[in-house]
Structure 1
Amino acid sequence: MTQAEAVIPPSQEALARRLDRLDRLATSLDSRFGVPGIRFGLDVLLGLIPGIGDAAALGPAAYILLEAHRMGAPPRVTLRMAAHTALDWLVDSVPLLGDLLDIWLKSNQRNVALLREHFQIPPATEQRGPNSVS
């Protein structure tokens, strides 16, 4: 048996749990906090720290990319995710204006949405039936 034959794809339930965890991370990074009409996350707050803030925000974004690879996302999906992350990092490199654009871009949430679309697993709130208890 080859190494490729020994790899067992994760079950849909396991993928759903991993995606839910990535969703929570992405939400924290992109839209955890809000003021009337505007949602923003830790990514924007970290970006306000001169010099290291944008690099610190890149770590969790890279983790989402790594998880996509581990979950078996195809190259076309991971490349799109990498493009979102690269655009986010580029935008963040512009002081203050980049942070304002980051509020709109929400690249981490876009990346998790791409994974959900690829694996055809809806968010946890959509998976529950109308009579289910939270």
Structure 2
Amino acid sequence: MSQLDRLPLARDPAAVRRRVEALERVLERSFTVPGINRPVGLDFVLGLIPVVGDVAAAALGSWIVWEARNLGMSKFQLARMAGNVGFDMLLGLVPFVGDAADFFFRSNSRNLRIIRKHLDRHHPGTVTVAG
């Protein structure tokens, strides 16, 4: 048995969808900022820590791209997703500008939309009805 077979993470598209949606929720919509009613998440909070926080947020966003790769998504889709994460990280390295960018440019939400579109087209059984 290989090391990958011992991992507790299921590889089926429905399980991948649940994991990616959960991580996106944590990174982009964990809580709402009082007064402006704007949801923010760990990506924004980590972005407040210079350099290290942006690198950590990019690493978490890269995990979403890794999950997409394991789904067999095209190289073009993966490049778009990696570009979203990279752009978010580069903006995050600029003081103040990066913090505002994390507030408005949600790379993980964009990547989740790309993954959902792929799953809806290629694995329609994974579609969940939001209520």
Q: How far apart are residue 33 of structure 1 and its match?
A: 1.4
Please list every run of 5 or more consecutive structure 1 residues that lacks an aligned counterpart in the other structure: 1-13, 129-134
Matched, 1:76 2:76: yes
Shift of 1:119: 2.1
Number of the residue aligned with 2:65: 65
Q: Which runs of 4+ in 1 moved over 4 A?
A: none
Q: In structure 1, the residue corresponding to 2:32 is in which secondary structure?
A: strand
TM-score by structure 2 length? 0.78
Secondary structure, in 3 states, of the residue corresponding to 2:39?
strand
1:107 correspondence with 2:107: yes
Query: How far does residue 123 in structure 1 lie from its aligned partner after superposition?
Result: 5.5
Cα distance change of structure 1 residues 20 and 85 upon mapping to structure 2, 3 Å threshold: same
Report how far residue 88 of structure 1 moved. Answer: 0.6
Number of matched pairs: 115
Secondary structure of residue in 2 paired with 1:125: coil
Displacement after TM superposition at 1:46 (Å): 0.7
Say whether 1:17 aligns with 2:1: no
* Structure 2 residue matching 1:124: 3-state secondary structure: coil
Paired residue for 2:28? 30
Matching residue's letter, 2:111: N
Task: Give the structure with higher Rg (CA).
Answer: 1
Where 2:94 maps in the other structure, the secondary structure is coil
| Number of the residue aligned with 2:129 | 125
Structure 2 unaligned blocks of 5 or more: 1-11
Task: Give the Å deviation of 1:59.
Answer: 1.2
